[in-house]
Structure formats: C-alpha cells, structure tokens
A and B are shown apart, each in its own frame.
Chain A
C-alpha cells in the first residue's frame, strides 16, 4: 500500500525566512507528485506538479524537488511572507492518488 507522510504537522516561521516542507512516500514507482495549498475553509489550489521523469519544478518563489529513490519530495518557499500562511498538502500518484495529511504553516510578521 502506498503511503504519503508529511512531517511536521505544523510549523511557524518569521517573515523572510525560507520554508522547507517535506513529503515522504513508500513506493518509488510513483507517476508524479503534486503540491497543493489549502486556505482555511477553502478547496485545494495546485502549486506544482512533478512528473516521475523530472527532478524539480519551479514557479516564482516555489521550488519542488522529487527524489524517487529516497521516497522524498521537498517544497521550498523562498523569502516567506504572511500570505504564505496555509496548509500545504502533497499528493502522490501511482494511478491511485494518495494524499499526505498536510503541514500547517504560519508565517509571522
């Protein structure tokens, strides 16, 4: 069974600091991995999608890496801002989709 884990469940950082969010998975035969942002009471907004053939994807201040051999993906958010406060979820795809429980991020001014 494929499992996706996100640790820590919550973290708080001061504004301007770089954010590093971790996602680990148990099955290296992953098709792709997607990162989402979820604001309180809202749906999921897609941030980045990394295919299995890729090592990383970048969009603005966001960079996501994928290491299939170690079963890890990392989402980096550079120079964090209070507006980055949200819950970040990763989702692995093995045909079947499996979500992590998310990391709740608070960026303090």
Chain B
C-alpha cells in the first residue's frame, strides 16, 4: 500500500517557467488537498477536491491550478513560477465521505524558484 505519493521530491525552476507537481493516492480517498509549508507559517491550503471533477480554492490559490479527473490523481500546476512560490508542497488525502477525519500526507516536494 503506497499511500500518498508525490513526485518529484525536489525541483528547481526559473522564474516564469511552468510545471506540474504530481500527487497520487491508492486508498480510494475522495478528499485530496494541496498545502504549502513555509518557515514559521505552518501549512496553508492551496486547493482541495472533494471528489473527481470537483475542485475548490483554499487559503492561497493564486498562481496555482488543479484538476481532478480521477479519484487517484490530483496534480498541482504552477502557471508561471515566481520566487514567492519557493516552498515545500504537501499533498494530502482523507477517507471517503468527509474532510474532517484523519488526513494522510505525502513526503513533500521541495520547490525552489530562482
């Protein structure tokens, strides 16, 4: 059971480049979400999805897009990378039916924008 898998683990981008962070889970969880973690600020919600075909914005959505074509995958797209997007990104999923139960996290993607 792989749980929540994020790729890549590390990435360096130049300002203005675009890229997609991948997230996949094999637990049939309906709820998936993306967070960014910055020093002293905890984890902040970027986007989330309550099921295939449904996405919504979190606390800090600007500069990011998401889609949810399958239950398993929830990719995060950076449209035009900026140095302010340098952060560690975490994907999480929760069991079916609700977002208020236990959350499972991926190992994170450390992104540097130069």
B100 at the interface (CB under 8 A from A): yes
Against B, the Cβ 8 Å flags (1 = close, 0 = not) of A94-106 are 0111011110000
Least CB distance from A103 to B in Å reads 11
Contact at A100–B42, with CB atoms within 8 Å?
A: yes
Tell me which of A45, A89, A95 contacts B42 (CB under 8 A).
A89
Contact at A89–B104, with CB atoms within 8 Å?
A: no
Contact at A43–B90, with CB atoms within 8 Å?
A: yes
A-B contacts, CB under 8 A, total: 50
User: Within 8 Å CB of B102, what residues of A?
Assistant: 34, 46, 49
Cα(A97)–Cα(B99), bound, Å = 8
Contact at B100–A95, with CB atoms within 8 Å?
A: yes
Against A, the Cβ 8 Å flags (1 = close, 0 = not) of B60-90 are 0000000000000000000000000000001
Contact at A95–B99, with CB atoms within 8 Å?
A: yes
Tell me which of B43, B104, B110 contacts A99 (CB under 8 A).
B43
B40 at the interface (CB under 8 A from A): yes
- Tally of contact residues, B, Cβ under 8 A: 22
Q: Known contacts A44-B90, A44-B105, A46-B104: does B99 contact A93 (CB below 8 Å)?
A: yes
A4 at the interface (CB under 8 A from B): yes
Interface residues of B (CB under 8 A from A): 4, 33, 35, 40-45, 90, 92, 99-108, 110
Interface residues of A (CB under 8 A from B): 4, 9, 31-32, 34, 36, 41-46, 49, 89, 91, 93, 95-97, 99-102
Told that A44-B105, A46-B104, A97-B33 touch, could you supply 15 new A-B pairs with CB distance under 8 A? A31-B100, A34-B103, A42-B107, A42-B108, A43-B4, A43-B106, A43-B108, A44-B90, A44-B92, A46-B102, A49-B101, A49-B102, A89-B42, A93-B99, A95-B100
